[in-house]
Amino acid sequence: MLFDSHAHYNDSHFDNDRFEILESMQENNVGYIMNISDSMKSVLKVLDIAKRYSFVYASVGVHPEETAELCEADMELLEEYTKNPKVKAIGEIGLDYYWDSVPRDVQKKWFVRQIELAKKVNLPVVIHDRDAHGDCMDILRSENVRDVGGILHCYSGSVEMAKEILDFGMYIAFGGTLTFKNARKVREVAEYVPLDRIVIETDCPYLAPEPHRGKRNSSLYIHYVAEKLAEIKGISYEEAERVTCRNAKRCYRIED
């Protein structure tokens, strides 16, 4: 069975067929989905979707681009939400210097605060790092992310950076970009990272893999990522599927 370790079914791109599409997952061999929060507003939707489906789990957290208006009361709310047993991670949290829509100091402040929360409630973190590798690694280092572990999502860094992420005990997630024709750098990282530290994801509705690049993505396309990973690693498709599913369950501490 496949585990989509990062999806956004609360997104408005799914407003017309959210439940239909989720109900088709299990017959298409998608056994687990981690639905990821990205704003305070998204959290309630994410929790509602997780409540409806036994195979859909939830993360709670605020994406760097949504941190402008955050306050301490929001941190208390997030902590309260983590009491829900379907909540398995804090995320997605991190830094985004590509859009740079929120001052960097503000992004950093709430990145640190949310790692502190993860440590307090003992949940792994799901990290978003776009064009912010240096500052992101500084914070992961100084905040001892190793204490909780987690996933660096949609990995876009170097092999050297991957080494340090692995030293933190974290997993590295590959998605649609692994299948893109110009993805030489990310494929080099996938060659380097040991199979037992790799998870796969869609980040749907974004980043659809080839041959659907540019269209709306969903977990129904995650097998293309598993196929590409199998090719890179020189293993069977079945093994890529089995090991990435096991890794995601281990990282998110899902037992069944």
Of 4 and 203, which CB lies nearer to Ni ion in the complex structure?
A: 203
Burial label for 199, CB within 10 Å (0-12, 13-18, 19+), is buried
- Number of residues lying near Ni ion (CB under 5 A): 1
CB of 153 to Ni ion, least distance (A): 6
CB of 6 to Ni ion, least distance (A): 6
Of 143 and 203, which CB lies nearer to Ni ion in the complex structure?
A: 203
Q: Scan residues 201-240 and list those touching Ni ion (CB under 5 A).
A: 203
What are the Cα distances from residue 194, in Å, to 40, 42, 126, 240?
A: 35, 33, 19, 12
Of 207 and 229, which CB lies nearer to Ni ion in the complex structure?
A: 207
Of 61 and 149, which CB lies nearer to Ni ion in the complex structure?
A: 61
**Residue 74, H or E segment:** helix 72-81
Of 205 and 233, which CB lies nearer to Ni ion in the complex structure?
A: 205
CB of 177 to Ni ion, least distance (A): 13
Of 101 and 236, which CB lies nearer to Ni ion in the complex structure?
A: 101
CB of 239 to Ni ion, least distance (A): 26
Q: For residues 196 and 248, what is the distance between their CA atoms, to the nearest angstrom? A: 10
CB of 8 to Ni ion, least distance (A): 6
Strand partners, 126: 91, 151
Site string for Ni ion, 177-206 (x = CB under 5 A): --------------------------x---
Q: How many CB atoms lie within 10 A of CB 230?
A: 18
By the 8 A CB rule, do 218 and 202 touch?
yes
CB of 126 to Ni ion, least distance (A): 8
Q: For residues 68 and 55, what is the distance between their CA atoms, to the nearest angstrom? A: 33
Q: Inter-axis angle of helices 222-233 and 184-192, to 10 degrees?
A: 70
Which residue is nearest to Ni ion, using beta carbons?
203
Residues near Ni ion (CB under 5 A): 203
